[in-house]
A and B are shown apart, each in its own frame.
Chain A
Amino acid sequence: MQKEDIDQISQIDTREEETCCSRNEDVLDDATLVQSNHHELHYCDFHIVYSSTFRVPVLYFRAYCSDGRPLPLDEIEKELPACASKELSKKKWTFITQEEHPYLKRPWYKLHPCGTAEWMKLLFLSDTANPKFEVVLELYLLSWFSVVGQVFGLRFYFKISN
């Protein structure tokens, strides 16, 4: 394995260039696995945050590459499953805005909550049985998520514990 001196680095710009050799220094050793495939991964974080203005939960999200570079909205939308992007375009209550995350203070995207209270009411009104308050409370987030999750093709796996 070629040993190169990492102290000597020629011109660096956003495109990386090779180092030039000078002294022999151990940078890698034989016990280090060298991987040849470098997959580009995209990560998407989802946060559920309560909005005191609208008094409903709000889905915040952001996406980024493995090096941390944020992905813009149009790139995120390209990667949504096909059924999900249809949801996004046709439903009037699923539009996306960019806002400062209330705790992380960084720009995130969110599904705007202005319609949430209304369609949540519809969901619960359609239930003819009169559930107990505790059940409603538990079901609220699940029901809410079953709707907004569709926008991203997310499904919720949960274990019902006693």
Chain B
Amino acid sequence: MAKEGSGSILQFAPLQSSVDEGFWHRLSSLKLNKFGIDDSPIPISGFYAPCSHPQVSNHLTLLAESLLSDSNDESTMPSVIRGNRNRCSVPGILYNTNTMEGFHALDKQGLLKAEAMKIWEDIHSGKAVEDCAVLSRVLLISFADLKKWNFHYWFAFPALALDPPATLVDLRPASQWFTLEEAESVSTACNEWRNSSVTADVPFFLVSIGSDSHAAVRHLKDLEACQRDGQKLLFAFYDPCHLPNNPGWPLRNFLALISARWNLKTVRFLCYRENRGFADLNLSLVGEALITVQQGWREQQSVPNAVGWELNKGRKVPRCINLAKSMDPTRLAISAADLNLKLMRWRALPSLNLEILFSLKCLLLGAGTLGCQVARMLMAWGVRRITLLDNGRVAMSNPLRQSLYTLDDCHNGGDFKATAAVRSLQRIFPAVEAEGIVMAIPMPGHPVSSQEEKSVLEDCKRLNDLIDSHDVIFLLTDTRESRWLPTLLCANRNKITITAALGFDSFLVMRHGPGPFNSIPNLKAETEDSLAAGMDNLVLTNTDGQHRLGCYFCNDVVAPTDSTSNRMLDQQCTVTRPGLAPIASALAVELLVGILHHPNGIFAEAEIANSSSGGNFELPLGILPHQIRGSLPHFQQMTLLGHSSNSCTACCSTVVSEYRKRGMQFILQAINHPTYLEDVTGLTELMRSANSFQLDWDDDIEVADDECVEL
């Protein structure tokens, strides 16, 4: 489109800024490691290139390389920023303030004038002719809030304002101004200029065309020679703008140079633009501008006015960008972890329910060898909400086997395990929501005095509340009797409960069956909430011993008693083979994930592993056993099934209803009177009648749990 007419003011399309996120990253790094509170101006280099797309203008870009390299960086970035055909260097300066108030208080007009002054001086000294890159400059003011990763900034591209402004006589696509031969020659000459590493980043040049239509591209300093030749002369520049009716911003200072240095009043210019790396004379523009003699421009002292602050969507306000997502290390850790789990889902397990894992609340009773490993495995599966309960302190021998602790946790008698564990989890993955509870679990067979009664009852209540407010409970303590109360409370509330217990060279991992009072067993347990809701409309159908899977105590015929006193010292701190805890913990968490993906959840029937099942499973995660017992000496593992017992001291209907009727008094009685539980469940009766037959029970008992203690 040809635009003719006299007197219309030549309007330039402003440069647009674009800041690569790497620039802010390097600035933050420099600020933190090198500059500190020093807010002296920082030299920067902007980059731009001629327009390469008919619909999109090129921006003036700041990259990480725009800043001097961090002295702590191992990169071998050269200190002098060399341009290439895609990057013309624009010298510039950055004023980064330490506060928001400082940002507002900057004298913006003053700073703009100072940069304009540098261009003015370069024009008059001749430097702009020698090294024309200095005709464009970039001024950036910023405030980097490194706590919230908010970057406030404002660009200015200083331009010397002609007063009165230049007028546009003509503007049209270059292909319409040149003859066909001239156009071809100009394209060839420009492409050569662009392909040579010496001139590729020289953004202002001359195009002179002889009477033979042969075009030559020359440096600015050859102007006098070109003028003597009397050939057609165009002042050319790399134009980042794509608009058909406006030249780009760099022409402003170019015209200022031409007027001030060479006193030309008519200027024929070429806005050089490209397409796919080659000169595009349809996109490029040729125009003619008229410059009125500027008052006092030949003298260096009078500095013209400067304009150039960038608008933000048409408004004179700074810009702000928040980069927390890509710069905050915690956020990066979260997105990396999420991506990892999603990969598992995409690649191998499309039915993986990550949402249920993310929202799950797990309570770990015990923060020892088992607790530490279970916590880590849960985090690896994407579980973020973990509570650890333990009343012990980290001992010197613990860090070797309890994977969340280090020697630092052992000083001054040792930190509380629950607290140290939470700290450790947060160091591994800052987004974890971990809580530590320092508390002892009340145990039957460890009677309490009347003074202690009140606090023990409070602990019971607290444990009950904790179990209520979590979805899954792991029993990972080091005694049998400490598992009793949690088992009862979980059975009462129908919570998913997983037990892991260690012998010297054997382990047990099992999931408890549902409690004795529950709704129809073929519930679809989508979420734990629906299970809890199921609990509320209880039908007192006692499904004891029929299809309900057993708990940890269901196979016992003795009530849990004090297993720790009256033992030899070496039996009190029992040692297990170190490999057992990681194996058992890992299986415990995998078992949980299996439950969560089973349509019946806690009500899922038990399956046994057998060689005939091969590789085909009904459910993508495989079978869901009830119990896994492993033996290290044999490197063997068995899956077992045990139904609930009518006489179970922890989960039978008798016990649970007693608890519901009498609450804490019942608990207290069980704690203080060792035989009470056996009486209540009828175990006492059972044993009396059994003893009269004088059978040897020991062989038939599967459980050797009284030897299952952990270090």
Contact = CB atoms under 8 A, between A and B. Distances in A.
- A and B co-occur in one complex: yes
Interface of A: 4, 6-9, 12-14, 16-19, 25-36, 38, 41, 64, 66-70, 72-73, 92, 95, 97-98, 103-107, 157
B21 A64 contact: yes
Interface residues of B, number: 60
B322 to A, nearest CB: 6
Given A6-B108, A92-B347, A27 B307 contact: yes
A31 B252 contact: yes
Closest 8 CB pairs of A and B: A16-B317, A33-B11, A68-B19, A31-B165, A70-B326, A33-B13, A29-B307, A14-B320
Contacts of B380: none
Contacts, number: 129
A104 B166 CA distance: 43
Contacts of A8: 104
A6 B109 CA distance: 8
B280 to A, nearest CB: 15
Q: Which of A4, A7, A12 has the most CB of B within 10 A?
A: A12
Contacts of A72: 325, 335
Interface stretch (B178-186, B228-236, B308-316, B436-444): B308-316
Nearest to B339: A98
A4 B14 CA distance: 18
20 contacts: A9-B104, A12-B152, A16-B320, A17-B317, A26-B161, A28-B311, A29-B307, A31-B162, A31-B252, A32-B11, A32-B14, A32-B307, A33-B243, A33-B246, A64-B20, A67-B19, A68-B19, A72-B325, A98-B339, A104-B22
Given A14-B320, A31-B12, A34-B314, A26 B332 contact: no
Nearest to A8: B104
Nearest to A28: B307
Contacts of B14: 32-33
Given A14-B322, A104-B22, A97 B339 contact: yes
B659 to A, nearest CB: 48
Contacts of A30: 9, 11, 165
Interface in B309-343: 309, 311-323, 325-326, 332, 335-336, 339, 343
Contact of A68 (B12, B21, B150): B21
Contacts of B339: 73, 97-98
B220 interface: no
B318 A9 contact: yes
Contacts of B346: 95
Contact of B314 (A7, A12, A36, A104): A36
A143 to B, nearest CB: 22
Contacts of B335: 72, 98
Contact of A4 (B21, B316, B323): B316
Given A98-B336, A98-B339, A33 B326 contact: no
A35 B242 CA distance: 13
B59 interface: yes
B94 to A, nearest CB: 15
Interface in B4-41: 9-14, 16, 18-25
A69 B321 contact: yes
B318 A41 contact: no
Nearest to B276: A157
Contact of B326 (A13, A17, A107, A157): A107
A89 to B, nearest CB: 8
Nearest to A32: B14
A64 B320 CA distance: 15
B445 to A, nearest CB: 53
A17 B316 CA distance: 9
B56 interface: yes
A26 B9 CA distance: 17
Given A7-B108, A66-B18, 20 more contacts: A6-B316, A7-B106, A7-B107, A12-B100, A12-B320, A16-B319, A18-B315, A19-B316, A19-B317, A26-B305, A28-B311, A32-B12, A64-B21, A67-B321, A68-B23, A70-B325, A72-B325, A95-B346, A97-B339, A98-B335
Contacts of A97: 339, 343
Nearest to A15: B320
Contacts of A31: 9-12, 161-162, 165-166, 252, 307
A6 B156 CA distance: 12
Contacts of B19: 67-68
Contacts of A19: 316-317
Nearest to B56: A41
A25 B19 CA distance: 27
B64 interface: yes
A29 B64 CA distance: 32
Contacts of B305: 26, 29
Contacts of A107: 326, 332
Nearest to B163: A29
Contacts of B104: 7-9, 12
A103 to B, nearest CB: 8
A89 B573 CA distance: 54
A68 to B, nearest CB: 4
B325 A14 contact: no
Contacts of A17: 317
Contacts of A32: 11-12, 14, 307
B188 to A, nearest CB: 16
Contacts of A34: 311, 314
Nearest to A64: B21
B307 A26 contact: yes
B146 to A, nearest CB: 16
A13 B322 CA distance: 11
A69 B323 contact: yes
A88 to B, nearest CB: 9
A16 B315 contact: yes
A7 B109 contact: yes
Nearest to A99: B336
Contacts of A16: 312-313, 315, 317-320
Nearest to B245: A33
Nearest to A104: B22
A19 B314 CA distance: 12
A104 B73 CA distance: 12
A70 B21 CA distance: 7
B56 to A, nearest CB: 7
A95 B345 CA distance: 11
Contacts of B59: 66
Nearest to B318: A12
A106 B326 CA distance: 9
B20 to A, nearest CB: 6
A32 B15 CA distance: 10
B21 A106 contact: yes
B64 A104 contact: yes
A70 B246 CA distance: 31
Contacts of B312: 16
Nearest to B105: A7
Residue of A13, A30, A32 with highest tally of chain B CB at under 10 A:
A32
A38 B314 contact: yes
Contacts of B317: 9, 12, 16-19
B412 to A, nearest CB: 39
A27 B314 CA distance: 12
